[in-house]
Amino acid sequence: MACKGRYHAVNFEFLIYYIGGIITYVVVVAGATLLFLLKCRPREGFILRFVLSLIGVLVLGAALSLLQYYVEVQFSNVIITNIAVFVIYLILFIVWVAALTLCYEEPLIRLVVAAVLGGLCQNIAFSLYSIINIAADFDAMLYISLGRWGYAIGQVLQAALAAVVLTAAYFLFAKKIIGMSFTGRDDLSMYVTLGLSKVILPILNALGNIFTSEDLAMRLFVRCTLMICNACILVLYVKMLQIRLVTNELEVMTKLNQSEHEHFLKLKTSY
């Protein structure tokens, strides 16, 4: 691989670390997205469609991890690397939403919202694992003790922690809004909130990687802050959706009472 006139041998262990990271990301996002699409209308042959779509996204993710590895080796610049990471994960998000359209008979906006919510859950799980990893230097310890198998075990442990986080996310967030509509003109503020989170949080993550890479305390602070921000956005969205539901029910009740009152007045006038 060329780099400023020199050639660097491919570090396959480092490359596998990148591939494993993106694969874990895609699987966790997929699982989290499904939590927010329960009781949605699946297309015919949903299981086959979903499996093939997931495999397609995983293959793309593995290919993009090669690009991420190339940028890291070619430029050796933390700013360029983080820009590349931002673009790569944005591409994965867009492709994942496109894959969901093949699996569900739902409006596009609903699928986008579910994917964003799934991404927030994944970010919480990853931030929690990162906090543990930064505090205990967990990945390095595994690699020193077990070599290349340490990378694989680290990804498995990360996935296991993500499963715990997703279980909690189901009961704390997804279960409360199952069956609620994600669409409607009244939802502009919710869409803006989620849209900004999809842009601002990755930027904050990149800035944290760039400016706090050598400061252990700041790295922990950034990860804790990002985890709290993701959780707060989930709470805010669920609350906004619940408030909108209550408001709609009150409007329906008000119209019903008004209709009954008018009907009563007409009957009184007729007599």
- Domain-embedded: residue 20: yes
How many domains does the chain contain in total? Answer: 1
- Domain-embedded: residue 64: yes
User: pLDDT band for position 5 (50/70/90)?
Assistant: very low
Return all residues near 88 (Cβ < 8 A) that are at least 6 apart. Answer: 22, 64, 65, 67, 68
- Domain-embedded: residue 217: yes
Whether the predicted pLDDT of 221 surpasses 70: yes
- Domain-embedded: residue 252: no
- Domain-embedded: residue 12: yes
What integer pLDDT is reported at residue 134 of this predicted model?
A: 85
**φ and ψ at residue 37, rounded to 5 degrees:** -115, 15
| Containing structural domain, residue 213 | 2-243
pLDDT, the chain, mean: 84
What integer pLDDT is reported at residue 7 of this predicted model?
A: 43
Query: Would you call 182 helix, strand, or coil by DSSP?
Result: coil
- CA 258 from chain center: how many Å? 44
pLDDT digits (tens, 9 = 90+) for 114-131: 999 999 999 999 999 999
- Domain-embedded: residue 54: yes
- Give dist(CA 81, CA 234) in Å, integer: 28
- Domain-embedded: residue 260: no
Q: How many CA atoms lie within 13 A of 132 on its CB side?
A: 12
Whether the predicted pLDDT of 205 surpasses 70: yes
pLDDT digits (tens, 9 = 90+) for 142-167: 777 877 777 778 888 889 999 999 99
- Domain-embedded: residue 263: no
Return all residues near 200 (Cβ < 8 A) that are at least 6 apart. Answer: none
- Give dist(CA 168, CA 172) in Å, integer: 6
What integer pLDDT is reported at residue 18 of this predicted model?
A: 81
